[in-house]
Every structure is written in C-alpha cells, then in structure tokens.
Chains A and B, each alone.
Chain A
Amino acid sequence: MKNIYPIFKKEVSSYFGSPTAYIVTTIFLLISGYFFYSGFAFFSLISFRSMGNPAILQQLNINEGVVKPLYGNISIILLLIIPLLTMRLFAEEKKSGTIELLLTYPVKDSEAILGKFFACAFLLFFMLLLTGFYPLLLILFAKPEIEPILSIYLGLFLMGISFIALGTFASSLTENQIVAASITFGTLLFFFVIGWASSLVGSTFGKVLEHLSIMEHFSNFAKGIIDTKDIIYYVNFTIFFLFLTSSSLESKKWRG
C-alpha cells in the first residue's frame, strides 16, 4: 500500500500543475457564490419586508432559508463538475499508453486506483474548503446554527467521493474521456432522480428506490441528521465502484 502515496502525489500535481484544478475550482466557486449571494440577498429582503410582522419573522430561519438551498445547489454543481475531474484518471493513461508503464511498475492495481481516487478526493476537499467562506460570511451577519452546516459538509464530502468512485470506474472502462464523463454524468443523474419514482411504484419497491437515491441520503445530512445508514450508503457506494474499477482493469488485461 506504500505506492498509493507517489501516485496520489503525481495525480495531485497533475491537477494543480495544469489549468484543470484552477479552472474547475473557479467555475465551481463562481456558480456557488452566485447561489449564495442570491439566496442570502433574497433572505435579507424578506426579513426586511416582514419587519413589522412578528408572526412571519418567527418563521424565518437562516439555516432553512439560505444554508439548505445553497448546499442543495452545490450538490448539483458537484454532479456536473466531478465527471470532468474523474474522466481523465484512467482514460487519459489508456489513450496515451502510459498505463502500460504504470502497470508494469511494481504497483498493485488497487494502489493505482486508490492513489488516483484519493487525489481527486483531495481536490474535492480543497474545493469544499473554499466554500467555507460562505458560512463564515453568514456568521458575520447572522446567527446560523453551526452543527447542521458541519453535517452538511460531511454529507457533501461523502456524496462527492461516491461520485468520484463512480467516475473512476467509468474512466477505467474506456480510453475516450468524453465517453467516461458521459457515463459518469448519466449514471449519477440516474442515481440522483431514482427516488422520484418511489411514489409511483409499490411501497416495498419504492423503499428500495428511495434507499438507492443519492439525493435522499443527502437530505438527511442537510437536515442536520447524521445517520449511520446514510454514511454506510455512501461508503458502500464508493467501495462498490472502486471494486468494479479494479475488476475492470483486471478484465482489460484478459481481453488484451
């Protein structure tokens, strides 16, 4: 397992040594910043208007009004952006042939996969860390509850790494980065909306669909509830797709 680190290091420096990390982070921050601004401005407008009406004022809650929608939106931006980060992980190496050298070095497949996965997770962590600016601003002007924000961050990160695991797998399937990104995006979207069908099908099957939905599990974190059920879902999702990645690399060898 000691070879995870050099691969991690190489991948991180490849993200940060090229414009990839900066452009993706900038776009991510611009869009999420816009959502934060519009949500916050709208909330202050409503607060201002309902000054004379204590009944409505009582209902207003900064966590419900600003924080929750903001991070709901951020989770959708991640859905759009993570496929762009993961698509190159294996597809690029396959296209350029460098995978032949990588896999003939004394490195286990699992080490290569985890090195790349952690590198992408690190970039995600970095991006989420920068969004920490928004709650800091909130604290300056209002009194949001801190704990739900922390649980949201935990949820976002867990959700992000499960996106990355799926993206890594998709990237190992093909040498075409666009194909990898499309597969990732499509599958993620599917997992995102699968819960919508739960009310249409029978109650047992509906429960299953609900449990499969990525969004459903995130909504608990957004409410400030940290449930082991949700943590286990994301961890399982991640491990499952990383395992599939390793099988995919293995099968490529057999097919030649």
Chain B
Amino acid sequence: MIQVENLTKNYGPIPAIENISFTVEKGEVLGFLGPNAAGKTTTMRILTCFLPATSGSARVAGFDVFKNSIDVRRRIGYLPENVPLYTDMSVTKYLGFAAEIKGVPFRERKKSVEQVIDYCGIGQFSGRLIGKLSKGYRQRVGLAQAILNDPEVLILDEPTVGLDPKQIIDIRNLIKEMAGKRTVILSTHILPEVSMTCQRVIIINQGRVVTIDTPQNLNKKLQKSTEIKLTVEGPSDEIIKSLQAVNGVLSVTKKDTVNNQNSFLVESDKDIDIRKDISKAVVTNNWGLLEMRSVDMSLEDIFIKLVTEEKGSGQ
C-alpha cells in the first residue's frame, strides 16, 4: 500500500531524514516511534504531499506523492500534529466542508458527516465551535475529518498527545478497530501505545531508521540481558552480597523492603540461566525464597536502549 524508498529531506544543510525506506501492507497498522525531532513528522508530511522530498520516492496506493499528488491526497486521511482546525467553524460545518472538499457526493455528505460524528463520539458537541472544544474533543474532530470519505490510508501524527487517560484508551480503540480495514501509520513517542495498537514498529532516530519489526520480535531481539525479579526474606545487605557472587549476575538492584521481605531486580547474562544458582544461594543461607520470575523487557527499555546504542556507535 505504501512504499517508501531512500527518502531524504534536507532543511537547508541539515538533513531531517536520511535514506528512509519501508513498506506498509494493506490493512496494517504501523507505528512510527522516535524521540522528538527524529523525523517522524517530516516523513508523514512527505507522505501526505505537504512537503516534497529532497530525494528518494514515496508511493501511496501505487501513486507517486510528488507526481500524482492529488490522487494520493484523495486516498489518505491525515491528522497533523497539534490538530490544526478552523476554530471559528462549528463541528458539523467544518466536517461538511471537509466532506465536500474531499469529494463526498452531495447526497451522501450529510450521512457521512453524521457517521464520523457518531464513530468518534462527538455527537453532543456537533453544534459547538471547534475553538470552544477541549483538546480531547478537538482531537476527535481531527480524527473524524481524517476518516471522512473512507480513505484507504490513514496517517496520524501523535494522535494521543495531550489527552486524558480515558480519551487515550478511546482513541487507541478507534485505531485498533480500523486495523484490517484501513492502512494506518501513526507516530508516537509513547511506547506502550505502539505495542498496544501496532502490528509493526519502525524506530527512527536522528532521521534514520533504526529498526523495523513487530513489537514481539523487538522484545526478543533486544534482550541481551535477562532480568529476574526476586523476593527474598532475610537481611538485605547479605543477600545482595551473595547474589552478586553468583556466576553470570551482572547487577543487583534493591527495589523495596516490606516486613523483612526484600525484592530485587537481578540482571544477568542472556545466555546463562542463573535461576538455579540463585535459589541454591538463597537456600544455603537459610533465607526464604518467596518469588522469582524473569521479567520481559518492555518496549520502553528497548527504545531507550536502541536510541542510546545507535548514538554510541555513531560517535
């Protein structure tokens, strides 16, 4: 559905993105992950034909974003960052304008506006001026205009920024519902969002693609060390000492102590299973082993890891 090849965009001498390539299949939800100023918005602006690329090509539904820009724009719904909307128009009026301009035929216009209002749950505010809406509802209006006229591709730039937790869940659910029906690209720097809504993730940093994978694979690929959560009853200082003595343990971090029950986070080499040795050490010292489980690395850790590692190798 979307093919991006060697996309580069320079702002003056500074490259915003460099040689970005990826493809998105039909019906896929792709997450664009990166810190601020990584080039997420620039990539999206190129895909939505707002900015031309300095070099490289991008195709949406088979149409080149530069040569057949109008054809591309007919097929995408775009929610820009900060959701710029005409604040002096009412919700229905604005959506009516968007429907007309997006080419919804006159007879279906009213119906399709009602549909998206319904879908995004903004019915009770449909007569209000957009400028008077809260950030969350403005975001929904932005989403509503994006899905008007049933675009094949949705491009959402940080769709959950600045929302309260309930609204975030609502918007995520809306996006999840679209999976399979529409191709969605969404950018975010909130990591749990990606693992919750996306089938594939592109991590981008300083204008370059760091990795493209599924959230699950990323987890696997990046676990160079394993973490084990441990709760032991006994004197904490001695426990730490003996844990550090176990072969393969890289670090021991004390989390907290409740009623003489100490919980630790033990980081170890990926290839050595230290659980047997830990239990042996605890038992020989006559402490009580209350809990031991391995912790999966969260995407957040991966992200921080990836970005910092990339920096290290670049220098």
Of chain B, the residue at the smallest CB distance from A103 is B50
Q: Provide the bound-state CA to CA distance between A104 and B101, in Å.
A: 11
For B85, list chain A residues within 8 Å (CB).
Answer: 98, 101
Q: Provide the bound-state CA to CA distance between A104 and B52, in Å.
A: 12
CB within 8 Å of A: which B17-74 residues: 45, 48-52, 70, 73-74
A-B contact count (CB 8 A): 65
For A107, list chain B residues within 8 Å (CB).
Answer: 73, 101
> Are B84 and A100 touching (Cβ within 8 A)?
yes
Q: Provide the bound-state CA to CA distance between A97 and B98, in Å.
A: 16
Chain B nearest CB from A108 CB (Å) reads: 7
User: Could you give, for residues 235-256 of chain A, a 1 whenever the CB lies within 8 Å of some chain B CB and a 0 otherwise?
Assistant: 0000000000000000001101
For A100, list chain B residues within 8 Å (CB).
Answer: 45, 50, 80, 84
Comparing A2-10, A129-137, A156-164, A169-177, the segment that makes contact with chain B is A2-10
> Are A104 and B78 touching (Cβ within 8 A)?
yes
Q: A106-B73, A106-B102 are in contact. Are A96 and B87 (CB under 8 A)?
A: yes
> Are B11 and A256 touching (Cβ within 8 A)?
yes
For A253, list chain B residues within 8 Å (CB).
Answer: 50-52
Q: Provide the bound-state CA to CA distance between A6 and B93, in Å.
A: 11
For B73, list chain A residues within 8 Å (CB).
Answer: 104-107
For this complex, into which size category does the number of interface residues on chain B fall?
20 to 34
> Are B9 and A256 touching (Cβ within 8 A)?
yes
Q: A14-B86, A256-B11 are in contact. Are A106 and B74 (CB under 8 A)?
A: yes
For A106, list chain B residues within 8 Å (CB).
Answer: 70, 73-74, 101-103
For A108, list chain B residues within 8 Å (CB).
Answer: 70
Which A positions have Cβ atoms within 8 angstroms of B? 3, 6-7, 9-10, 13-14, 17-18, 96-101, 103-108, 253-254, 256
For B102, list chain A residues within 8 Å (CB).
Answer: 105-106
Q: A10-B86, A10-B89 are in contact. Are A97 and B97 (CB under 8 A)?
A: no
> Are B49 and A256 touching (Cβ within 8 A)?
no
Q: Provide the bound-state CA to CA distance between A9 and B93, in Å.
A: 11
27 contacts between A and B (CB under 8 A): A6-B100, A6-B101, A7-B101, A9-B97, A10-B89, A13-B93, A17-B89, A18-B88, A96-B84, A96-B87, A97-B82, A97-B84, A100-B50, A100-B84, A101-B78, A101-B80, A101-B85, A103-B49, A104-B73, A105-B98, A105-B101, A105-B102, A106-B73, A106-B103, A107-B101, A108-B70, A256-B16
